[in-house]
Chain A
Amino acid sequence: MNMKALTLPASIMDTISRLTMRFNIFANVKWGRLSVISVPTLWLAVFFFIPFVVVFKISLAESAIAIPPYSSLFEWDAEEAFLAIKVSLANYVYLFEDTLYIEAYWSSIKIAAVSTFITLIVAFPIAYLIARSDPQKRTLLLALVVLPFWTSFLLRVYAWIGFLKKNGVINDVLMGLGIIDQPITMIQTDFAVYIGIVYTYLPFMILPLYTALEKMDITLLEAAEDLGAKPYQSFFLVTLPLAVPGIIAGCLLVFIPAVGEFVIPALLGASDTLMIGRVLWDEFFLNRDWPMASAVATVMLIILVLPIMLITNRTETKEGAK
């Protein structure tokens, strides 16, 4: 009896201590840490990730004259107690049947790729010059590169309208100098779109290139020269390979947003300059076909995500190998 009286509280004590141990384990989880991690994660989950799921869902719906203007995927039939799921691939079928969309994707990728390449060519000497100049001049030059980025993107695109239009600055100067006697049509052409993209995305290319080139050991070039390499050889065999991480980063930062660009083709391009960002915009704002706009967005996302995943996987395996 006594024994039992003793063991019972003891077992209770034991249980309680185990319980408190449990609580101690909880204490180790550190609520502070957990909440610091979860607040930004939850924000991005709700406002960045889930929206893509919603876009995908609505891309499977049908356009309807209603508010919101699409059919619902799930319909609850109360009489039959039956949940009908109506998934329609019609938008995707239409997307691949109508040549407009395919052409728009193709021409966006083409325009983005060509302008990314031009941006690279324009940016490389600037980045190289900055990386090789002395620290004081370097700060000034970097500020000159960064400054346009801080001013309004929309207004910088607008500046080119005044520059390129029929009685704009370029035509006036060329005609004043007597080089041409008829104004050249530059605004509302694909040429203007290329200019616009190169112009607005140039800082995004220069900065990663600069970071890569700045890290480069200058003695490598001296070694190459001592071993008899000509300047162009040491450029292609030493400088360029060392700049590859910067080139990849810069090209991604320019290419991906350029594919979906809307403002530049809308302001500088011709009415028949096909770019997918503009098609999506028109589908949404003019035709009010939300499901079709969602299908266009979903396919664009797939086209863009694949190269990113390939490249990040590659760099990660490289870093893992180090």
Chain B
Amino acid sequence: MKRRSVFLNTSSLIGFLFLYLPMISLVIFSFNESKLVTVWGGWSLKWYVALFENEQIMQAAWLSLKIAFITSTLAVVLGTMAGYVLSRMGRFRGKMILSGWIAAPLVMPEVITGLSLLLLFVAMESMIGWPAGRGMGTIIIAHTTFCLAYVAVIVQSRLAMLDETLEEAAMDLGAKPSSLFFLVTLPLISPAIISGWLLSFTLSLDDLVIASFVSGPGNSTLPMVIFSKVRMGVTPEINALATLMIAVVTVGVIAAMYQMRRQSKLSAQFK
């Protein structure tokens, strides 16, 4: 038993080091004075200054943030509907198809999703004249489609965990379906909706492949700019950008953990 836990701890430690060492080195070298990324030239914040002065990156970042914001909001509305339909509306024709369409985007290789959506947009434009040209709008539609699948899965699993008696009680007391949803179900699944929104935001902000297919000229998103820069080699500004992103996510995860711990303490008190 003892030997096994030694084995477990060492292999897990190696696994975690594997996950974190590259990220840690990325963060350290973002503070490097030297332009040569692996030669240490002392601490400096100059790459952060360079990052914020880089017009191309800033413009792309602003576009990506706008797209991510609209995408995650749309995806939350549609995904919550889909998740609710699949777990609370009983049987209906086409349920199997809908659940298949929810599961498939989660694993579909991005090159296929990107190509197929682009061809759809082109075909639609020549048939009905919409969408006229490609750009922010088409990227939002494409991102919403795969993000809504993630939201639906999260909402569905939250609904599966929920005790249905609360909803039944509301129905017994005469709540209409709409007020049942907005006054009872929605508050109960709000944590799932919030994490679905955040996840959609992250996925949209990060997507390179699908956006490359469906964006038009002059609509480069942040990942597209990063990719073209990174292909040329390592650039310290990108390290600075990555560090900022890691910092935001770390703060977010710590906050979420703190919240979870507080909630479990609260529920322990009531027991």
Contact = CB atoms under 8 A, between A and B. Distances in A.
A226 to B, nearest CB: 14
Nearest to B112: A297
A289 to B, nearest CB: 12
Interface string A275-300: 00100110011000010011001001
Contact of B209 (A54, A263, A267, A294): A263
A261 interface: yes
Interface stretch (A1-9, A18-26, A155-163): A155-163
B105 A48 contact: yes
Given A202-B15, A262-B111, A159 B26 contact: yes
Residue with the greatest number of chain A CB neighbours at <10 A, chosen from B82, B92, B239: B82
A129 B230 contact: no
Residue with the greatest number of chain A CB neighbours at <10 A, chosen from B102, B152, B213, B242: B242
B38 A172 contact: yes
Interface string B76-93: 001101101100010010
B110 interface: yes
B231 A267 contact: yes
Interface stretch (B49-57, B115-123, B159-167, B186-194): B115-123
A68 interface: yes
Contacts of B173: none
B168 to A, nearest CB: 17
Interface string B128-159: 00000000000001101100100010000000
A123 B8 CA distance: 11
Nearest to B233: A161
The majority secondary structure among interface residues of chain B is: helix
A43 B107 contact: no
Contacts, number: 232
B8 A150 contact: no
Contacts of A132: 8
Given A125-B12, A199-B19, A39 B110 contact: no
A55 interface: yes
Residue with the greatest number of chain B CB neighbours at <10 A, chosen from A39, A126, A136, A140: A126
A293 B241 CA distance: 34
Contacts of B205: 152
B271 interface: no
A37 B22 contact: no
B223 interface: yes
A162 B26 contact: yes
B116 A52 contact: yes
B234 interface: yes
B238 to A, nearest CB: 6
A312 B135 CA distance: 37
B241 to A, nearest CB: 7
Given A48-B104, A202-B19, A277-B109, A155 B242 contact: yes
Contact of A47 (B25, B108, B145): B145
Nearest to A304: B109
B241 A155 contact: yes
Given A163-B25, A199-B19, A260-B109, A297 B209 contact: no
Contacts of B199: 150
Contacts of B238: 155, 158
Contacts of B92: 37
Contacts of A163: 21-22, 25
Contact of B101 (A30, A48, A151): A48
B109 A68 contact: no
A30 B154 CA distance: 26
6 contacts: A44-B98, A140-B257, A154-B226, A159-B242, A162-B26, A162-B234
Which 8 pairs across A and B sit closest by C-beta, in order of nearness? A260-B109, A51-B116, A159-B22, A40-B82, A125-B11, A155-B242, A256-B107, A51-B120
